[in-house]
Amino acid sequence: MKRIASLPALILFAASISFCSPMQAATPLPPEERSFRVVAYVTDAIIAEIIPYEKLTHINYSFLVPHTDGSFAPISNGWKLEAIVESAHSQGVRVSIAVGGWGWDPQFEQLAADSTARASFVKNLADVVNEYQLDGVDMDWEYPDPGQSSQNFLALIQEIRAAMPDILLSTAVVGSWDEVGQGIPQEVFALMDYVNVMTYDGPDHGSMQEFEAGISYWSARGVPKEKLNIGTPFYSRPDEVTYAKLVQFDPAAAQADMFDYFGVTQNYTGIPTTQAKTRLAMEKAGGIMFWALDHDAQGEYSLVHAIYEEIKKGP
């Protein structure tokens, strides 16, 4: 599951990013085509200069942290978000702000239950989208509960869509576990441009089985194939070791999904399984997403590069 604290890199063939302030106007992007998506979550710790824009279609900058009154904490490293938007737009990559993250369920529960706080949330969110010239919003409430909480989530999404009808709107949902998945009402899917499925952190963290189960579960719940972005982790369980650290420790880790790291067996997703996931996502979903770009290795061991090369082969 995604964390708000400093969590969770890659070859860049583009030019260096200019960190100018105030931000220059970003180049408007044409309407989004229905092509296979590669969605990268990045944290405020990302080294912007090494983002491989040419291998991505979307970036979700994490996180915008909500307060119970509908206001937000200041965006961490906002100057970095400005730079990412400028460079991303110059290469046709769309940037959204991820709102929330793991650990903010109490704040979401309180604000979504209050119509005044919801209105404030939507207004303040629109201000952020406009200020940073963002393409969209990724609602990362982990997770609404079935019942009234679920209905409050639906009301919040409806109000966001009504206030910002032209932005990309997505939500992050858990893999295939009914006890939290049922808190996402089916009516939400019609309002969303896509759904980011966090098929990791379960008992089989990052496994092909979990990936397949996520596709099956959310397809059965009514999410259209073209709206599904199926997730894969760039970190391990149980100790949340980044994939980059595992490969730095021993390059052989790139070809495995299980590795002994200082005496503890770490489960993650290496290159072969990442390639297999990409092929399956191209067949049964609209895209692949990952948490987080910060955690990837560089060069020949890069998971993003493995995804990119698999996509180039075609379905």
Q: What is the pLDDT along the chain (315 residues), one digit of tens a residue?
A: 454 333 333 323 233 323 233 334 445 577 777 689 999 999 999 999 999 999 999 999 999 999 999 999 999 999 999 999 999 999 999 999 999 999 999 999 999 999 999 999 999 999 999 999 999 999 999 999 999 999 999 999 999 999 999 999 999 999 888 888 999 999 999 999 999 999 999 889 999 999 999 999 999 999 999 999 999 999 999 999 999 999 999 999 999 999 999 999 999 999 999 999 999 999 999 999 999 999 999 999 999 999 999 999 988
| Distant-in-sequence, close-in-space partners of 57: CB < 8 Å, separation ≥ 6 | 35, 36, 37, 38, 39, 93, 94, 287
CA distance linking residue 28 with residue 83, whole number of Å: 15
DSSP secondary structure letters along 60-125? EEEEEPB-TTS-BPPPTTHHHHHHHHHHHHHTT-EEEEEEE-BT-HHHHHHHHT-HHHHHHHHHHH
Instruction: Check: CB of residue 182 under 8 Å from CB of residue 144.
Output: no
Residue 261 CB-density burial (10 A; 0-12 exposed, 13-18 middle, 19+ buried):
middle
Task: Specify the pLDDT at position 296.
Answer: 98
- Select from 3.40.250.10, 2.60.40.1120, 4.10.220.20, 3.20.20.80 the CATH code of 37-237+270-313: 3.20.20.80
Task: Specify the pLDDT at position 28.
Answer: 59
Task: Specify the pLDDT at position 153.
Answer: 98
The 3-state DSSP class for residue 136 equals strand
Query: Alpha carbon 180 to chain centroid distance?
Result: 18
- pTM for the structure as a whole: 0.91
Task: Specify the pLDDT at position 177.
Answer: 81
The 3-state DSSP class for residue 148 equals helix
CA distance linking residue 44 with residue 118, whole number of Å: 26
